[in-house]
Structure 1
Amino acid sequence: MARQEINLGTAPTGVGGDTTRTTGIKINAMTQELYARDALLGTASNRNVGLLVGNIQDVGSPAPMAGNSAFAEQGSHFISYGDNTTVAPPGGAYWSGIRAQYPFQNCAMDLVAQVVTGGSMNLMFRTVAGNGGGDPWRKIYHDGNTTRGSGGALSAASPIVRIANVADSARLDLKESTFEPAGDWGVANDQAEGVLVERLDVGQYRITGSLGLALEGWRTHDPSSPDGGRMLGITDSEQGADGAVVIKLFKQRWTLTDDGEMVPGRGAPMDVPLNSWIDVRLEMPQPEPQSPINTEE
């Protein structure tokens, strides 16, 4: 069947015909068709897949960047690192994150910024200028790998349990962030999940469910006042063969030496003041590795 074109409201094409009006109607119809298509498909239908500015990035691209590979792409895209890459941050086998690259004006070098994570606690960043080796990887501290002591000071820490009278505590910030009750006498963050704090006697508490005190770094922080960190007691710690930890708290006792100096020491046992807590840093069992998610049907 022969194709027929009907031009409404126009003169026939050909000799004496109004081709200008006919062409205008056709172009207008095409424009309306494009608008209708965009309304159905969205703006992504007009984008190319790739890594250039304005492209849509394909799932899984680019491949892990090895060494100082050419910094040809501009803009931002996702990156991943494996065991064999030389630019991966330390302390983890696999990392993923975002790589953003910006060209210097009137200069052949580019500035590359990378932010990656190797797990819930490991968050690193660095910058690379040009084709050089880049700055060292820097760790980002957050409420998952730090703790705020009873006096307000931040310390690098994880996992943490806080010893306090949970029911009667006057501190609204005792259970901040990821801290949840760990018995009647303690709260623990999500890295110390499963520990239990019990009160054995006045000023004496037992922590179970961990491997014991942290193997490196600080282990306990004495209770401090919330108005500037004034020490409210002195702690002592003992660890059993089974990993159970016993924390003892004593009042401060000042003794005058023969030289006329005031020396702090341990006095009578005391419970944790209601306006404070004791920070204890623990060593926890390594979590079981999770099986990779299978996205194939």
Structure 2
Amino acid sequence: WQQFFTADGDVTITLPDTSQTTGPSAKKLIKSVSDKVDKNQLGSSAFRDAYSTAGKMLSEGDFGVGSSYPPALAANNPRSGLYTIEGDSSQVPPQAVGTGCGVIHINGSSYGLDIAGVMGGGGRLFARTYDNNTGREWREFYSTGNTTIDTNGFIKKASPVIKLKGDGTAVLNDEAEGVITEHISAGVYKISGVLGFHSEPIWGGVDGGIVIPANTNGLPLLWVDYEIDPDGSITLKTYHRTHDSAPEFARNLIGIKNKDGSFTETVQDGEPVDIPAGRWVDLRVEMPRNSLWNIKQQEAREKAERERQQNQQGTQL
């Protein structure tokens, strides 16, 4: 038994029944306990291995998870995770230059996938795939943020868009925020805070930007005309529109049906009328650089840049 207390390693002891057993000495037991970490030093943490192999634990910030500002996405990133793309990076979608994106990156050896969302508002989403470690062209998702359902129920790529109603009120999408619409007189409306119409071909080019309501046979209910003031404001004029060559039920006549079956028109073709109740005229417009939307986007870009710089400074400390 004396060896149990004085030896440094394992000892063999003879028990009262003359059998023997081998185990660590008292000194070895004491030393093994002294080498253990104090439980008060652990806090809420635990020891872990690095994530170099499967089954290892992650730390906050690894691959962007839990990070206040995820790392930048490299051109050939070998690891899946959450990343950012700066607004001036060659990786950023062309439609998001100057803004920057948050990215979900999925790596699959030489193939992969990125899903990116513009930071700072707008809700614009993009996706691209990788082929032989090379990122392909970005594709934009269509959503309520960059399309509109026009007055006839068709989806169109559009922004900014105004849905002008008969009483002069309007529904504005995000990019048209700040536009003012007024009903001046019968069939006359004023749209302020714009720079005329957007000239995209899908909306009719330079002289387009307008979608007018139609009846169930696809025949327009209105004639429209417009003037653009020097400041870019639009005066929109709407007129009653009939279709004399169509069957009577599709002619879009406004008037009174007489007892003898005849019809007396009270509004003639080409006379000023308001936009019909329950319908609207879609206007795709051009917004000035100092519009509320553009100001908010600039503020969001500046905030994202400040956060990026602060994150870099924090990493260097």
Using the size of structure 1 for normalisation, the TM-score is: 0.65
Structure-2 residue corresponding to 1:254: 243
Higher helix share: 2
Distance 2:303 2:102 in 1: 18
- Of all paired residues, the percent bearing the same amino acid is 24
- Residue 65 of structure 1 aligns with an amino acid whose one-letter code is A
Say if 2:73 and 2:83, in contact at 8 Å, map to a contact too. no
- Residue 158 of structure 2 aligns with an amino acid whose one-letter code is A
The Cα offsets for residues 193-228 of structure 1, whole Å up to 9 and x where unpaired, read as: 111111122111111122222243421110245x78
Structure-1 residue corresponding to 2:4: none
Distance 2:197 2:171 in 1: 16
The Cα offsets for residues 102-127 of structure 1, whole Å up to 9 and x where unpaired, read as: 43xxxxx4321112234534422110
- Residue 84 of structure 2 aligns with an amino acid whose one-letter code is I
Structure-2 residue corresponding to 1:3: none
Q: How has the CA–CA distance of structure 1 residues 54 and 214 changed in structure 2, closer, same or farther, with 3 Å as cutoff?
A: farther
Using the size of structure 2 for normalisation, the TM-score is: 0.61
- Unpaired runs of 5+ residues, structure 1, are 1-12, 104-108, 167-183, 257-261
Over the residues paired in the alignment, what is the CA RMSD in angstroms? 4.2
* 1:1-297 map, 5 Å: 15=13, 16=15, 41=44, 46=48, 48=50, 55=58, 56-57=62-63, 59=67, 60=69, 62-66=71-75, 69=76, 71-73=77-79, 75-85=80-90, 87-91=91-95, 92-103=97-108, 109-118=109-118, 120-121=121-122, 122-131=124-133, 133-165=134-166, 184-217=168-201, 218=203, 219-224=209-214, 231-255=220-244, 267-286=270-289, 287-288=294-295, 289-290=298-299, 291-292=302-303, 294=306
Say if 1:101 and 1:110, in contact at 8 Å, map to a contact too. no
CA shift, 1:189, in A, is 1.9
Q: How has the CA–CA distance of structure 1 residues 232 and 42 changed in structure 2, closer, same or farther, with 3 Å as cutoff?
A: farther
- Residue 159 of structure 1 aligns with an amino acid whose one-letter code is P
Distance 1:274 1:251 in 2: 13
Distance 2:175 2:45 in 1: 43
- Unpaired runs of 5+ residues, structure 2, are 1-10, 16-20, 204-208, 246-250, 252-267
Say if 1:149 and 1:155, in contact at 8 Å, map to a contact too. yes
CA shift, 1:155, in A, is 0.8
CA shift, 1:48, in A, is 4.4
- Residue 224 of structure 2 aligns with an amino acid whose one-letter code is T
Task: Compare CA radii of gyration and give the structure with the larger one.
Answer: 2
Q: Residue 175 of structure 2 aligns to a residue in which SS?
A: helix
CA shift, 1:147, in A, is 0.9
Q: Residue 77 of structure 1 aligns to a residue in which SS?
A: strand
- Residue 246 of structure 1 aligns with an amino acid whose one-letter code is T
Distance 1:269 1:126 in 2: 50
CA shift, 1:156, in A, is 0.9
CA shift, 1:137, in A, is 1.3
The Cα offsets for residues 170-199 of structure 1, whole Å up to 9 and x where unpaired, read as: xxxxxxxxxxxxxx5222222111111111
Q: How has the CA–CA distance of structure 1 residues 237 and 72 changed in structure 2, closer, same or farther, with 3 Å as cutoff?
A: same
